[in-house]
Amino acid sequence: MRALVISLLALPIGACAGAGPNQAIPFRDARKLIPAIAELVRTQEPFPHTAKARIELAGGGAIEVRIGGESRVLIPVRIRFEGLGNSYCRLAVVNPRNAHAEFVPLPVSADHDNCRGMQRMAAVDVNRDGIPDLVFQVEIPSNRYDVTVSEGAVYLSNPGHGTTYCYAPVASRAVGSDVPFDSNSVRAVVEAEAARHGKQVLDCYAPSSPRKPAQ
C-alpha cells in the first residue's frame, strides 16, 4: 500500500477549508482521509488482499453532512488493484473527528468487481429526514455487449440503525440512466415509485451479519 502513505489528520467538525454542513469537501482534505479507507480495503472482503490497491475519489467528490449535531464525510471511491482486473465502487462514511471509516454495505447483486466509475446524479433528501441522500449512476460493463452501461445507486441516511448510511435496492432500480441528473428529477422518480409500490421502496439493505454502529 505504498501509494497510500499519506499524512492522516483527523479533521474536526467544520474544519475542512471552504466547507460547511452539507457542502463539498476540497480534494486535498478528502485525500487526508484515504488512509482510513485503505485500512478497510486491506482487511475486508471481497477485496483482494495480496495486491496493492489504488483508491481514487469518484462520484463528484466528498461532501460533509451533519447528523445529530455531528459531522460525517461521505466519500465515493473507486478501488483498483495492481495487476488485477478487479475494481470496486463504494461509498465510505468517515467520522472526521477520529478518522473512523465504514463502507456502506452492498448486496452481492450491486457489489460489482468490475466497476468502471461513478457519476453523482444528486445530493437530495429523498427520505425527507433533513439529511442529504446521495444518488449515483454506477458504470459497469454490459454482460451481453462490449459497451459500458450504468445502473442507479441510492444511498439513504440511516442514523441509529447500525450504519449512518444504507443502500436502498428498490429505489436504486427506479433510478435509471434516463433520469436527468438533478435533484428535482431524482426525487420525483423515487416518490412516484413509492406512490405506486409503497414505502418499501425506501427500505435499506441490511447484511445478515450484525455490524457495529458508526463511531
- Give the model confidence (pLDDT) of 94-130 as tens digits: 998 888 999 999 999 999 999 999 999 999 999 999 9
Whole-angstrom Cα distance, residue 41 to residue 94?
Answer: 14
Taking the CB of residue 34, how many other CB atoms lie within 10 A of it?
21
The closest alpha carbon to 64, from 104, 12, 5, belongs to 12
Per-residue model confidence (pLDDT) at position 143:
85
Whole-angstrom Cα distance, residue 111 to residue 95?
Answer: 23
The closest alpha carbon to 114, from 90, 140, 94, belongs to 140
Give the residue extent of every domain in the chain.
2-202
Percent of the chain with pLDDT over 70: 85
Q: Give the pLDDT mean for 189-209.
A: 91
Residue 183 has pLDDT above 90, yes or no: yes
Is residue 23 within 8 Å of residue 74, measured between CB atoms?
no
The closest alpha carbon to 30, from 56, 68, 66, belongs to 56
